[in-house]
Amino acid sequence: MTLIAADTQYLVVGLGVTGLSCVRYLSAQGKLCSVIDSRQTPPGLDTLRAEFPDIEVTLGGFDADVMIRADVLVMSPGVPLSTPAVQAALANGVRLSSDIELFCQAHQGRTVLITGSNAKSTVTSWVADVARHAGMSHVVGGNLGQPALTLLDQPVDLAILELSSFQLELVGPLRADVATVLNVSEDHQDRYPSFAAYQQTKQRIYFGCRHAVFNRDDPLTAPLLPSGVAQTSFGLGQPDLKQFGVLERDGEAWLARGQEAWLKASEVALPGRHNRNNALAVMALADVIGLDRDAIVASLRQFKGLPHRCEPVGSINGVQFVNDSKGTNVGATLAAVEGLGRDHPGRLILLLGGQGKGADFSPLRGPVAQLCKSSWVFGQDQAQIVAALAVGDQGGSVYCVETMEQALAGAEAESVAGDIVLLSPACASFDQFNDFQHRGDVFRSWVEARL
């Protein structure tokens, strides 16, 4: 572990909720810190000045001279490392840190770290639900819920952290007890120079871990680690000894560890093929960390999922409406379409669109053509999506509208009993909404007003 001198100067880069938690933590540890933010009035500024009136604050831009004078930059994940002032500081020997790295250095219990292009919030919350069933004291945070450093207020046996690629850019070896990359698909290509760079950033979660859990159906999740590190895999095929997968017994699919059948797949509370894979990831992570098998099975039977993640919100005249607003990239939408559409081919009406973040939408073409009755595309990057979907005469119709509400109206008009209207946008929401939660709330309100 790196030794930190008593007079080390920390500069918190980016305020907001996470930046404020960093200032509070560093100040409580007696560290010297200051703050810089590109905004004139960042969130949390009034609170910062009320609690820490003597802390130096630089606003309205990232000043390279200010950054170079620091010893350690405690970075917000929202600030790209490519920012010129950050690069100037790094060139002058200034070190990087983050709230995640500070948390992992201070936390005394066991740690599970979870990342992936999709499903990381669901799996993180699901592992926490297993811990609850097992009676183990735990906290959940990181990219989900509370900032990590606020979790140190309560000593617990287990910390379960969801980490984004932006957060992983800022860490060294985290030495997790268990770490996983659930899946890797194209995302945030407006931030990374290539898909390979994005995938390599995801791999950082494994650095220093004691046990790696990976998805054997997705080769990009396989850990690039020394041979001595313990590894466990999960996947939808038949598992090898001590691995997790699906067994066929008397015509039924069972979720299993090796040849041990733990639970009928039909008993998993969350529907869809993609959630069967999520359940296997939960089984592997929980088993490796030492949670009781009975607690794992109980959670698989009862966990109802999270808002905005393939969330059923109501049925109108026999048509089910499903909110997957959290599907902000192509991989997430593919998982939702294939997870629901395989059981209802030709009955799925897909709503998608928004800000594409530089993504390639062509991987949607085949599954959408095969499984969807129609697609309704809205928002800023609708032209790129329509061009990717509307190829040839195969598959359902593709309609282009301005807003999600217009897409909902069109989908309702063409649907019949037994259809599923799925909002899974494959895009960010900021062209028309505050965030993905706002988009999902508008979808839900539209449906509930007609129930």
Question: Could you list the active site residues?
Answer: 120, 143, 188
Alpha helix ranges (H) inside 290-364: 293-302, 330-341
Calculate the CA dihedral of residues 81, 82, 88, 91 and round it to 10 degrees: 70
What residues have CB less than 8 Å from 202, skipping those under 6 apart? 115, 116, 117, 165, 168, 181, 184, 220, 221
Q: Distance between CA atoms of 219 and 211, rounded to whole angstroms?
A: 17
Q: Which two tokens stand for residue 176?
A: 């997790």
- Taking CA atoms, 147 is separated from 57, 99, 348, in Å, by 21, 8, 37
Q: Which two tokens stand for residue 345?
A: 């081919």
Q: Using an 8 Å Cβ cutoff, are 322 and 337 in contact? A: no
Side chain identity, residue 357: K
Side chain identity, residue 33: C
Q: Is 417 exposed, middle or buried (0-12, 13-18, 19+ CB in 10 A)?
A: exposed
Q: Distance between CA atoms of 104 and 420, rounded to whole angstroms?
A: 43
